[in-house]
Structure 1
Amino acid sequence: MDSKTTKPYRHCPDEEYKISIFICRGRQKAHYPKCPECEFRTTTEEISPIPVEKETITSTSPSQTKTGSIMVKSEPPSAVIFLDDDNIGVTPAIITQILPGKYKIKIKMEGYNSWSQSVNVKANKETSLTAVLHGKDCSVAIESNPTKAEIFIDGNRVGVAPVTIDNAKAGKHLVEVKLDGYEVWSKEINVETEQKTSLIAELTANYGTISLSSEPTNAKIFIDGIEVGTTPANLSPVPHGTYLVEVMIDGYGVWGESVTVEPGKENVLTAILQVKTGSASIKSRPKNAKLYLDGKYAGTTPESILSINPGTHEIKIEMDNYDVWTETVNIEAGKENIITAVLQRSTGTLMVESEPENAVIFVDGKEIGHTPEIIMSSAKGTHAIEVRMDGYDIWKKNVDIEPGTEKSITATLQLKTGSLNINSKPSDATIIVDGKEVGTNPGNHNCTSTRQPSC
């Protein structure tokens, strides 16, 4: 075959470049993915080996000449293959039925420097080549506001802004700029060969601020369970989102609130902490007594007093006719004090004396002693007091006795009296009893003495 003979070319489905019959057969041999749908796959045409055109090579039939092959790959793939300047397809490919000899393989791809290598084809052998392509001199300069954001190109971290990437590959790339507290900035750029691409990423804040104070101050602050400081505090930056803010200090209940932080906004919070309290369960015998806590009326027994501040407190219980019961108790946070007050009846006193002394004393009809005597009473109210002595009239008096009071009474007893019927002859005589003139006879006269009158 003459070296000027036109080579037959074919197209792989959906590919732009024409390929030679050598490439076609090589791809079929390599099980190229598109071969099953190729119209030439089932052809029965027997194509004689066609030598690659070289000035020093003449046509020879396959029955007379043995051939070799070249396996060509590239990184990245889909680069154009040139065999001695003839475009014969794209990588990866196997070029078959090549006459032995020296050839020049060149690989080209847009945005990359050309790659070339000489290869010596030997009969009945396959030579493998892998072309690692390098991008043409392109650069990308990236800045961010604020600075020090991380730069990613096509998902790969390339540095911190501001940064310039030299020897960038030409073509389309996805640039992402990331900084804590800011939304991810992204943009697709087209890097052109031998040109510098510059861009500035204006980042949008993705955080807010929490300004937190408390009463009392110096309380610990927790966000989602993590301690972040003490009050008062200005927490920034806080990424956008919803958080549980808690404030704690010993002796006080936990303060908590759910807070939604929005970009660029400040959340102002004031935590009013409540003192942890204790309680007291108070009973009395008898019940229904008045109950006082630190001087303030708190109900009647039995009673449970909740939310008592920790510390020392006075409990007072009062009931009519009973002594006042008081006790100092220590209330602890989170604990309950159980208190039972046993009330004692209160008494009043009454001092009973008499003239003459040693008279018998009766209280409410019951004999209790002789004068002089101190009477103790546990019952509030009016009591009937009687003082008795032979030869004397009974002395009686109603006396009010108040618990906790003292009274004194003196019973002046009166002698019992009788009568005398005195006659004399002659009549109209003067009658004298115990030296005292009491009248003339005849007549009846009272006598207070138990002795015989002197008449």
Structure 2
Amino acid sequence: MDPEKRAGDARAGVLDELQRINDQIDRAVELAGLKPLFYRLETIAQEYQGDAEIEAMAVLARQRLIAKGSRMRDQPLADPGAAEPSAIPTPFPTAAPPIVSDVIPPVAPPAQDDKPVRQPPSPPPPAAPFVWKRALITGSAIGVVLFLIGLFALSRLRDRAPEQGATGPVRVSVTSVPEGAAIRVDGELRCVADCSFDLLPGTHEIEARLEGYETLKRIIDARAGEPVSLSLPLSLEAQSVRIAADMLSGEVLLDGNPAARLQEGQALLENVQPGSHTIRIAGGSASAEFTLDVNPGQAPLLSGPIRTRNVLAVLVSNKGNQARLYTSSNPWKVYMGGQQVGETAPAGIGLTPPSPGDHELTIGEGSQQRKLIVNFGSAPVLAVFLKTDVNAGTLVVATGEDDVQVFLNGKLQRRATARGQLRIPGLPVREYAVRVEKEGYQASPAEQRAIVRKGEETRLEFRLQPLPRVASLRISGAAPGTQVFLEREHIGSVQSDGTFAHEGIAPGKHTVEIRRQSYIPRQFLREFHAGEIVELRGSELTMAKQPATLRL
């Protein structure tokens, strides 16, 4: 057997023995029965020195034993003549009662000249008296030692723990790099960095915002008497270029260096650094090239013309409510949401998006018309659309979730959604049945139909609702106050109207148990399914009374 397991079993046996000794002390009726218990307790205390639990139980048992012995000494025995000799002296000496017999007559005392009567042997000397004083002193000394150990441990814990009663304000100093960031505390504007302010003790969210920089958030735990100094280094807002082309493959160059490849007509350049950059996109016989100026905190701007071959280039620069549209040839009439907003020019045309999100832009009229789906947001982005004269169009499937699978006419597309949508360029002009799937979600509507037209982008939106991932338990018709357990863990009690409800139960088989005082507990094994409710009601909740016990 493992030595550690053997030692654990031995310790458990000692704890059981101490409990039995306590029971024997309570049942003892004679002082003689207490003596071996006292010596056994001393032996246990010596063998298990350093085991706080066993030492404490031994000390308590000795104190009970001493108190029991003292009470027994202070009360005379009910039948002194029947008591056996004891090594523990009693304060009341007893004499042996005379023996009275109806058969043997009394014997007369011997005459003077007779031989002396043989005296009976003297009784053995009494055993040494039980030293109660020493026992009391020993037990008290051990108790004092244990008390001092506990007091020392509590003082160490108190020194380590924060002061519970402190409720004073906490001084918080915040710096931002660069300076000038607006500092919000728990969503409310507090000051402009660098600055200081007072907060109540507790957990707070500190947020720094500065135009042209990424928003930075920190969580602090403010404690009374402990000032907080917080430095917030801000990062420049990431500038990006998103490319959607009718050419399904090709290469993207940034300042003459390969930066990305067109994959199914799409590419993304992230973290474009401030400065002037030349971007070239080429695929097959079509190409486009332009120069871009990037400034922190501003929408990217074009400098110079857009040079193209066999393609129409439409560029939309936006950041928040700042947007501008450029085309490789001019002029073109521009419509947003069906309303004309003007005509393009070499310097571009300003746009005011009505709200963040996807919006439809229409360029041109008649057979030259092009429809684009443009996303307007708070981050600085340049969206590049390259349109060829092919008899094909683009389908944009928006879901608001990533990694959503898209099916066209029942066929799974190779790519899933990213940044909440999937663009499918180069689709032949026709009608398509579209549906989406993602594990753990339900799509609404289940399926939509879309007509793809030449040179246009068609958008479909699906809403994905998370499916319940847990099950629920409902109880009705039970006795008020009945305790409810799930896998032996208490989860609540039945209300006064006999009902109980509990949610958040993981799918699978679980054991539900109900308990009530003076009744036999009942258990129910049930299968729980995500999004479903398991109900217990009526007669199945009936509980049998526990049989009565008569103690004599």
Q: TM-score, structure 2 length as denominator?
A: 0.22
Structure ranking higher in strand proportion: 1
Structure ranking higher in helix proportion: 2
Q: TM-score, structure 1 length as denominator?
A: 0.26
